[in-house]
Structure 1
Amino acid sequence: MSSLVEYEDDYSLDADPQPNAGKGDDSALQTNLLSIAWQARWLLLLTVLLGVGCAWLYLQRVVPRYTSVSRIYVERSLPQIFASDAQRGTSSSYLYTQAELITSTPVLAAAANAPESSQLETFRSTDNPIGLLKKNLSVQVGKNDDIINVMIELPSAEDAAQIVNSVVDAYISKYAEERRTDTVEVLNILRNEKQRRDAELEQRIEALEKFRGQNAALAVQVGEENVITKRFAALASELDRVELALLDSKARHNRTQQMLESPSLRPFLLELASGQQSVAQDISLENRLQVDLEKQIQDIQLQIDALRATWGDGHTRVKLALQSKAAMEERLAKQLEATEERKKAIVSAYVETVSQEHQLLEQKREELQRSYDKQFKLAMQVNSQAAKLTTLENSLARTVRDVDRVDEQIKGINLTEDVGAMNVSIMEVARASSEPTYPIPARFLAIGALLGGLTGFGLAWLRDLMDHRLKSIEEIAATLQLPVLGALPLSAGKDDRHETGRVVLTHPRSMAAESFRTLRTAIHFGLTRDDAKVIAITSPSPGDGKSVVASNLALTMAQADQRVLLIDADMRKPKQHEVFEIQVEHGLSSVLAERRPADEVIQRTEVDTLDLLPCGSRPTNPVELLNNGYFSELLHELQQKYDKIVIDSPPVMPVADARVISAQTDATILVLRADCSTRRMSVAARDELWRVRAQRIGIVVNAVPGRKQANYSQGYGYGYGNYGHSSGTYGDLAYGEPEPPVDISRRKKSRARSQQLPSPEATSEAMEPLDI
């Protein structure tokens, strides 16, 4: 069941989205696309037929083309160095190279100039046969095999087959049979060069052996070096090392002598001597002994002080303690004297050690110098001989490399002499095709139908995108964020305004009457029964049928045994006196302007429980009359006499009257016209009502076409399909013709095509639309 939304505390113009508003976005989008396609089904059918027709016309005008294919297998002869080597397969890069060679200009030129190709119609009609072949000839290498496919597509099947065969023949003639190289002459030159290099190699070897025999000392080698040279190098390295150590020892010896002669530097000399591990341990032990003696003396002194304080200086215990202290001090003095002697000995030993090391290095340097000088003379004699030996060895190595290079070249010539030869097998000769490969009728017709359908759907989608009208309950609820209370069908007859505004009386069993009763029920339960007594009926713009809705809603409420007052507050274009055929001179305008009592102008209707307060004369200032405060007092006074008060209010957007009235009522019904009310106008009307803090706003959709009942019978609990009236339609005019008139010729035309014949019951109860 639907319910109205109350706005008592927060009247923000930006309505918060519902918690579950986004759950069905995907399904809603799919439904919307299907709906667009269904509504434009005739357009889709037309564009599909046009697409198929265009494809058929293209098929009739296009020149068919035929494809001829020749399949060849290219096998390359590879060398076998050993008998066990297997013939290696053709690499993919080699096949792609052959494919490029087939499409090369020399091959194509040979094919175009072949005698059997010169008379072809294809070549006679072009000035550039090679360019034509490059454009249309295709060569492909098989992905799963090593077969090369040579194909061409031309308007003439015979020409296509002849050209493909000519290209294959030209390729075989130019690259498969003529690829031979003259290797005999090159091989002879290389063999003569090898003989010369071999003779030179023999001479180099003989000269080297003779020189080595004359210089036996050079034959003694250790690794790659001569013994004399290696020994000289070792002596030079050791002499350098000893001289560096001697410089360091001399500096340390001089520094030690200076520190020994200077009393102020002697403690530092002791620290240098203490660097040795054994000396350091001795000094550390003596220091610990000295510390222990000093600690014992301090302890005895503390005892002496304690005994003096207790017994006095002459006591025996004090004397004994003093004797112990004297003995310990004597022992400490001897220990200090021994420590000093030990330190002097350590220093003297260290100085002597440094001096001995210096002298030893001096002697070692002298011995090394004598050996170095002797070995230097020997090395100088060997160097000249070694240089000549190196020259001979390098010459021999260079000659050996030259001989090896010539051998490799001769071997390469022998191995590659037959490599250029290729075995080309024609697996399939090109033949003239009897069936064209382009165009394929089924494919083109399918593509035409697909493009036509896409074009039609695009036009339908564009039309729907540019159409800003509200078309369904879901769209209205999502756009306005307000509940939809009901939907009212189109009228089907030619009755006058009097009959249409009182349809619940004139046609009580009709679908329209039932829809007003459903609306009454929705309002009753949606407004929490009796807490909303004053209800304003308005619409975004003129022509939406709000006056007919107000009159019929008031009648249905009166038929429910309620005292109802219908107020015609549209003081610019009043209509309710025409609906109920009442001649009045005074009405609401008189009550508000002249303070005339309401009872004097309220009119009785043919329904006992329904009274009418007509508009009366049209004032020049209706907004000021409604907003002067007396209108609110009037409504409060009338609520004491009536159960429900229905107010026929002017449209929201053209004038401000509806906003003033809605601000003073308990609920507001906003009437929208199906296939006419736009999103922009409806949202603007809702925002205006929110600005004046209108209470409990609900939506009623008017003038729903019979074929669109399904779109407007979902989302609330009172769909008309549930009452068995879904087969009845009510023509093309709503309750209330738009004012100003709206161009609905296109909709009328489409509705006329889809209109169904009304049932006998509906025909007997036909109604005439009313101009509101």
Structure 2
Amino acid sequence: MEPKEHFVEEIDLRRYWLVIKRRWLPASVVFLASVAASMFASMSEEVEYRATGEMLLQLDRTSSLTGVAQELSELESLTVEGNPLDTQASLITSAPILRDTIEALNIRNEEDELIGVGNLKDGLEVSTSEQTDIIKVAYQSGNPELSAAIVNQIMASYIAFNIQSNRSEVRAAREFLEAELPKAEAEVNQLSEALQQFNEQNRIINLEAEATATVGAIADLDQRIANSQSQLAEVDSRVNQLREKLGLPLEDALTLTDLTRSKGVQQVFDQWQAAQTELATARTRYTDAHPNVRTLAREEAALRAVLEERMLDVAGGALPVSDRTLQFSELKQQLAADLVRAEIDRASLFNQLSTLASTRDAYVDWADIFPSLETTQLDLQQKLAYARNTYEGLLRRLQEVRLAENQNVGSARIIEQADVPANPVATGQDNYLLLGAGAGVLLGIAVAFFLDLIDRTIKSVKDGEKIFNYVLLGVIPRFETHKESDWQDDAYSADGSPSTRIVTSQRAYPMISGAYQMLQANLRFMSSDKKLKSLVITSSAHGEGKSEVCANLAASIAQTDRRVLLIDADMRSPDQHHL
């Protein structure tokens, strides 16, 4: 695929300048006509007067002194980047304010009818000053008194409209607050009652103090439980030691302790023990069939029965009656008593430990519900505080609004009334002239290029190259000899010397002679592969200089040591014989 060729047309400033030089006359005529038209327009313009007034838009001073209703007079914009002054400026040019101005001043047209809002808006200008709260109102017309009156009336109408708008807002705010205040009060009462019921149901006086006391109680119970567990371990160890020394179960030890402490049992036991002793002595003396032995045996059996009956009454059960059972040493009695006391202590400690553990569990369960109770209570308190703040804010705002409703609260005041202008505004003649001159220059240039565009004659060497698509061999400047006469007067003299028009044989015109040398050199190098032997020079019309060019070119070629034959082929008006 062959690459595409890109042709870039170069800007030829010299060519443009030549076009302007050639067409300067029509361009000048257009320029002067444009300037004349602008002067005529500036002279026909009517004289107008401009009146200006200023307003300051900010908080009303009465509001700042009383401290209420300040927000009602503040200028706020609904957009983040908007300027509230621009909004107020647009409001000043609104139809209601302009219509009120027209009616107040009774401004009528030629048909004796009130002018329209659009007609008044044509001469009105409302602007804001940067970094200030000032709005400028200006009106321009041919009547200076009317201009000042319109500006002052517009500012007065805007201030009246602003005050009325603020009063309407205050009235609407009061009605809204009066409707919302009972709702807020009912909400406060409802939340207060809900908080009180919550505290009563959960027996809460001071939740934070109770939580602190509960944590302290749990810590104290943990310490007491640890102490009780330590004491219980000591008592268990002592009980085991006493059981090992005594050699009896706890129930037997308790029973025997009760028996040893019973006087009736001990008395019968002593009698039974004496009867056993007598029976044993009698059996050593007599046989079992002896009457004394039998009598003593009956007494021993009767005493044993009485002893068992009393033991049953004291111990609640039958125990084997023996010396080991009923006769304890004082040491064993003491051990049995210690074992009983140790068992009692252990039972007491166990019950105490169980009570402490259940109490601690109750405190832990109570502490576990503290977070939920605290969250619920805090939520109710926050809602109640918010409702109270809302109620107090609505009540305070209602008082402020009622006070502001009777005030002339406004956000604008006039700081400079419009005076009747004594001098008219600038007519803009300089602007008209500058505009006419600029338009004349542009139109003149456009006319010059348009005329040059429709002119099909060749005006430059580049135009010839572009039209005929030929290679330029040389450029011969037009020149005049020292004698300001016809060229035939410069023909060869009587002595046979060449004409002064043959510049290649002279040194008076080296630049022109060099041009011919360049021409003959270009002709020679144009066909370097084939020697150039003949050359024809012609032109489209008579008098264009072909005879002079032929003669100078022939002389220039002859100066390169080449033989040249110059033939004049113009059969109608040959000129070579004059050169």
- Counterpart Cα distance in 2 of 1:179 and 1:138: 25
1:113 aligns with 2:77: no
Maintained 8 Å contact 1:504/1:516: no
Give the unaligned 5+ runs of structure 1.
1-16, 223-374, 569-573, 582-604, 608-772
CA deviations on 1:143-178 (whole Å, 9 max, x unpaired) are: 253321112233433332222221111111221466
Q: CA deviation at 1:433?
A: 5.2
Maintained 8 Å contact 1:141/1:148: yes
| 1:148 counterpart residue number | 135
| 1:404 counterpart residue number | 389
Change (3 A) 1:90 1:185: closer
CA deviations on 1:272-292 (whole Å, 9 max, x unpaired) are: xxxxxxxxxxxxxxxxxxxxx
1:207 aligns with 2:197: yes
- From 403, 428, 432, the equivalent of 2:421 is 432
| 1:58 counterpart residue number | 41
Q: CA deviation at 1:139?
A: 0.9
Q: How many residues align?
A: 398
Maintained 8 Å contact 2:58/2:133: no
Counterpart secondary structure, 1:112: helix
| 1:445 counterpart residue number | 433
1:579 aligns with 2:569: no
- Counterpart Cα distance in 1 of 2:375 and 2:513: 124
| 2:449 counterpart residue number | 461
1:306-321 matches, cutoff 5 A: none
Maintained 8 Å contact 1:487/1:515: no
Q: CA deviation at 1:410?
A: 3.0
Change (3 A) 1:153 1:544: farther
Question: What's the Cα RMSD here?
Answer: 5.7
- Counterpart Cα distance in 1 of 2:181 and 2:532: 125
- Counterpart Cα distance in 2 of 1:556 and 1:70: 90
Structure 1: which amino acid aligns with 2:26?
Answer: L
1:40 aligns with 2:23: yes
| 1:565 counterpart residue number | 565
Bigger Cα displacement from structure 2, 157-166 vs 393-402: 393-402
- Counterpart Cα distance in 1 of 2:43 and 2:574: 66
Of Structure 1 and Structure 2, which has the larger fraction of its residues in helix? 2
| 1:298 counterpart residue number | none
Identity of aligned residues (%): 16
Q: CA deviation at 1:97?
A: 2.2
Counterpart secondary structure, 2:413: strand
Give the unaligned 5+ runs of structure 2.
1-6, 77-81, 213-360, 525-530
| 1:179 counterpart residue number | 166
CA deviations on 1:225-259 (whole Å, 9 max, x unpaired) are: xxxxxxxxxxxxxxxxxxxxxxxxxxxxxxxxxxx
Maintained 8 Å contact 2:516/2:552: no
1:707-746 matches, cutoff 5 A: none
- Counterpart Cα distance in 2 of 1:144 and 1:165: 24
Q: With the length of structure 2 as denominator, give the TM-score of the two structures.
A: 0.52
Counterpart secondary structure, 2:127: strand
CA deviations on 1:497-525 (whole Å, 9 max, x unpaired) are: xx85x954379998755489666664446
CA deviations on 1:708-757 (whole Å, 9 max, x unpaired) are: xxxxxxxxxxxxxxxxxxxxxxxxxxxxxxxxxxxxxxxxxxxxxxxxxx
CA deviations on 1:332-351 (whole Å, 9 max, x unpaired) are: xxxxxxxxxxxxxxxxxxxx
Maintained 8 Å contact 2:101/2:157: yes
1:72-151 matches, cutoff 5 A: 72-77=55-60, 93-114=83-104, 117-118=105-106, 120-122=107-109, 128-151=115-138
Change (3 A) 1:557 1:35: closer
CA deviations on 1:514-548 (whole Å, 9 max, x unpaired) are: 48966666444654699777451334745574652
Change (3 A) 1:509 1:56: farther
Maintained 8 Å contact 2:192/2:384: no
1:549-698 matches, cutoff 5 A: 549=548, 552-553=551-552, 564-568=564-568, 574-576=569-571, 578-579=573-574
Counterpart secondary structure, 1:484: coil
- Counterpart Cα distance in 2 of 1:64 and 1:472: 53
Change (3 A) 1:453 1:522: closer
Counterpart secondary structure, 1:402: helix
1:230-309 matches, cutoff 5 A: none
CA deviations on 1:185-221 (whole Å, 9 max, x unpaired) are: 766776666665555555334322221229999x987
Change (3 A) 1:464 1:208: same
- Counterpart Cα distance in 2 of 1:515 and 1:165: 90
1:337-486 matches, cutoff 5 A: 398-413=383-398, 417=404, 420-432=409-421, 434-437=423-426, 439-467=427-455, 469-472=457-460, 481-486=471-476
Q: CA deviation at 1:580?
A: 6.0
Change (3 A) 1:525 1:490: closer
Maintained 8 Å contact 2:191/2:384: yes
- Counterpart Cα distance in 1 of 2:523 and 2:161: 105
CA deviations on 1:58-116 (whole Å, 9 max, x unpaired) are: 23444444332222222224977999xx99997782222221221122211211110xx
Change (3 A) 1:433 1:444: farther
Maintained 8 Å contact 2:475/2:515: yes
- Counterpart Cα distance in 2 of 1:75 and 1:530: 90
Change (3 A) 1:403 1:388: same
Counterpart secondary structure, 2:421: coil
Change (3 A) 1:68 1:38: farther
| 2:287 counterpart residue number | none
| Larger-gyration structure (1/2) | 2
Counterpart secondary structure, 1:505: coil
Change (3 A) 1:463 1:413: farther
- From 140, 147, 165, the equivalent of 1:160 is 147
Structure 2: which amino acid aligns with 1:172?
Answer: I
CA deviations on 1:561-604 (whole Å, 9 max, x unpaired) are: 98642235xxxxx52474269xxxxxxxxxxxxxxxxxxxxxxx
Change (3 A) 1:126 1:512: farther
Q: CA deviation at 1:137?
A: 2.0
Q: Relative contact order (C-alpha < 8 Å, sep 6+): which is higher?
A: 2
Change (3 A) 1:577 1:516: farther
Maintained 8 Å contact 2:51/2:418: no
1:67 aligns with 2:67: no
Counterpart secondary structure, 2:166: coil
- Counterpart Cα distance in 2 of 1:198 and 1:44: 90
- Counterpart Cα distance in 2 of 1:63 and 1:155: 8
Maintained 8 Å contact 2:53/2:418: yes
Change (3 A) 1:221 1:144: closer
- Counterpart Cα distance in 2 of 1:389 and 1:579: 131
Maintained 8 Å contact 1:554/1:564: no
Maintained 8 Å contact 1:198/1:403: yes
Change (3 A) 1:547 1:213: closer
Maintained 8 Å contact 2:504/2:555: no
Change (3 A) 1:386 1:77: same
